[in-house]
């Protein structure tokens, strides 16, 4: 009888545990509901005021044009002003530092390009860490660069012949880039290493003077933008020997990639990206990303940027964060290997 009573009745301890379990389940459900409500509330309340989009380069370039297209599109979605603020200086580090130190509430964003992850390795003391100090929002677009030669100064018609020519004249060939420590400079040094050649680097203050000297023959070769090269390739004054990136540039479909021409290590694309201060709440980051990607999908925006040589992409925050991390490592290694310093 005693055994029957024990098996048919719940002990006080079991009843207590049962009540505790039920209570925990109830609290878990409540907490999940509160969390979901909190996420929805954070997204619904953003933005609460004017959003500032910092561009760490002068007005008028492709980065600035893209920022203004996004500002217009986001402003219409959010019914709040989105203002573009150009803060050029120190290879883009000045504007990046402004955003890294801003309040992490989503109302100050950084629209920048690949030098964000290159510049810190070029200086002994950088004012930010591109991985730790920012929350990636979205990769906005990508672009190829072109290795082009002056057709009057260089008889080579393909990259293989150019490499053979340079090897016959060690340290007598030079190539231009649009700035010391720029992507063009770094790609040129990767090319030097991969092809086992030794071209001298000539730094210019922007693409306009670089292109003028390339056309004039003062520098025989240069790394330039797709749209900078295209009209002069069409007239025959320049010859595009290869493009960076994993695929051919749609604006120059007949020009092979470096990989197709037998040179490895030139597959990285230049990118345009949007970031927020690191501690920005995840719901705001995700809302910002989704809304930005809607603007990037608009045909008029895509057409406008394509005319500037930019292929709009859009991405998730996590995917862009992986790109930032990988390129920080990639370009840091190139800079250290070639001992490139700007201070």
Has residue 256 been placed in a domain?
Answer: no
Q: Residue 7: what pLDDT?
A: 43
Q: Are residues 151 and 237 in the same domain?
A: yes
Total tally of structural domains belonging to the chain: 3
Asked if 286 and 293 count as a contact pair (C-beta separation under 8 A), the reply is no
Residues with pLDDT less than 70, the chain: 1-43
CA distance linking residue 197 with residue 24, whole number of Å: 69
Provide the CB-side half-sphere exposure for 308 (13 A, CA): 18
In a domain, 128, yes or no: yes
In whole angstroms, what is the distance from residue 120 CA to residue 188 CA? 19
> Are 135 and 160 found together in one domain?
no
Tell me, yes or no, whether 155 and 131 share the same domain.
no
* φ and ψ at residue 151, rounded to 5 degrees: -65, -25
Select from 123, 121, 57, 120 the least CA-distant residue to 89: 57
Please, is 141 exposed, middle or buried when counting C-beta atoms within 10 Å of its C-beta (0-12, 13-18, 19+)? buried
Q: Of 227, 243, 259, which closes a domain?
A: 243
- C-alpha radius of gyration, the chain, whole number: 27
Answer yes or no: do 183 and 237 share one domain. yes
Same domain? For 170 and 235 the reply is yes
Residue 128 and residue 75 share a domain: yes
Cα separations in angstroms, 305 against 70, 207, 309, 314: 11, 18, 7, 13
Q: pLDDT, tens digit, for every residue of 97-119?
A: 999 999 999 999 999 999 999 99
Identify the three-state secondary structure at position 205.
Answer: coil
Judgement on whether residues 34 and 92 belong to the same structural domain of the protein: no
**Residue 208: its pLDDT value, please?**
95
Are 214 and 69 members of one domain? no
Which ranges in the chain belong to alpha helices (H)?
A: 2-8, 12-45, 62-78, 93-100, 115-122, 159-167, 183-195, 207-216, 226-235, 282-296, 299-306, 317-337
In a domain? residue 3: no
Provide the pLDDT for residue 308: 95
The domain that contains 161 carries what CATH number?
3.40.190.10
Establish if 253 belongs to a structural domain: no
**Does residue 255 lie in a domain region?**
no
Summarised one tens digit per residue, pLDDT across range 315-341 is 999 999 999 999 999 999 999 999 999
CA dist 275 and 134 (Å) reads: 6
Integer Cα distance of 130 and 272 in angstroms: 14
* Length in residues, the chain: 343
Buried/exposed code over 62-98 (b: 16+ C-beta within 10 A; e: otherwise): bbbbbbbbbbebbbeebeeebebebbeebbbbebbbb
Asked if residue 343 is part of any domain, the answer here is: no
Co-location of 127 and 217 in the same domain: no
In a domain, 200, yes or no: yes
How far CA 67 is from CA of 76, 311, 330, in Å, comes to 14, 15, 26
Q: What is the pLDDT of residue 170?
A: 83
CATH of the domain at 81: 3.40.190.150
Same domain, 230 and 152: yes
Whether the Cβ atoms of residue 287 and residue 46 lie closer than 8 Å to each other: yes
Question: Is 41 a member of any domain?
Answer: yes
Based on the domain organization, do 185 and 225 belong to the same domain? yes
Residues 162 and 232 in one domain: yes
User: What residues contact 216, with CB distance under 8 A and at least 6 apart?
Assistant: none
Residue 248, C-beta contacts closer than 8 angstroms, at least 6 positions apart: 144, 255, 256, 257, 260
Question: Can you give the residue range of the structural domain that contains 35?
Answer: 10-45
């Amino acid at each position: 009888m005693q055994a029957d009573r024990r098996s048919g009745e719940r002990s006080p301890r079991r009843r207590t545990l049962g009540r505790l379990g039920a209570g925990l389940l109830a609290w878990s459900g409540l907490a999940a509901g509160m969390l979901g409500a909190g996420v929805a509330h954070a997204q619904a309340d953003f933005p609460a005021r004017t959003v500032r989009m910092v561009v760490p380069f002068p007005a008028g370039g492709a980065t600035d044009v893209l920022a203004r297209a996004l500002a217009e599109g986001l402003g219409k979605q959010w019914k709040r002003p989105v203002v573009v603020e150009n803060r050029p200086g120190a290879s883009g580090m000045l504007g990046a530092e402004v955003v890294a130190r801003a309040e992490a509430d989503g109302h100050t964003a950084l629209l920048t390009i690949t030098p964000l992850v290159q510049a810190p390795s070029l200086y002994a003391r950088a004012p930010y860490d591109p991985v730790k100090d920012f929350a990636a929002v979205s990769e906005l677009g990508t672009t190829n660069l072109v290795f082009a030669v002056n057709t009057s100064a260089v008889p080579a018609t393909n990259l293989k012949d150019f490499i053979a020519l340079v090897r016959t004249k060690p340290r007598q060939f030079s190539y231009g880039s649009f700035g010391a420590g720029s992507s063009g400079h770094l790609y040129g040094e990767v090319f030097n290493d991969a092809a086992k050649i030794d071209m001298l680097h000539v730094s210019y203050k922007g693409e306009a003077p670089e292109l003028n000297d390339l056309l004039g023959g003062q520098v025989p070769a240069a790394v330039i933008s797709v749209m900078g090269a295209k009209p002069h390739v069409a007239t025959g004054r320049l010859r595009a020997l290869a493009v960076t990136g994993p695929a051919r540039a749609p604006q120059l479909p007949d020009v092979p990639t470096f990989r197709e021409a037998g040179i490895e290590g030139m597959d990285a694309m230049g990118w345009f990206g949007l970031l927020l201060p690191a501690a920005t709440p995840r719901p705001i980051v995700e809302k910002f990303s989704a809304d930005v990607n809607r603007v990037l999908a608009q045909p008029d925006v895509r057409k406008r940027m394509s005319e500037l040589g930019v292929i709009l992409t859009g991405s998730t925050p996590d995917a862009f964060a992986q790109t930032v991390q990988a390129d920080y490592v990639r370009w840091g290694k190139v800079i250290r290997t070639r001992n490139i310093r700007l201070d």
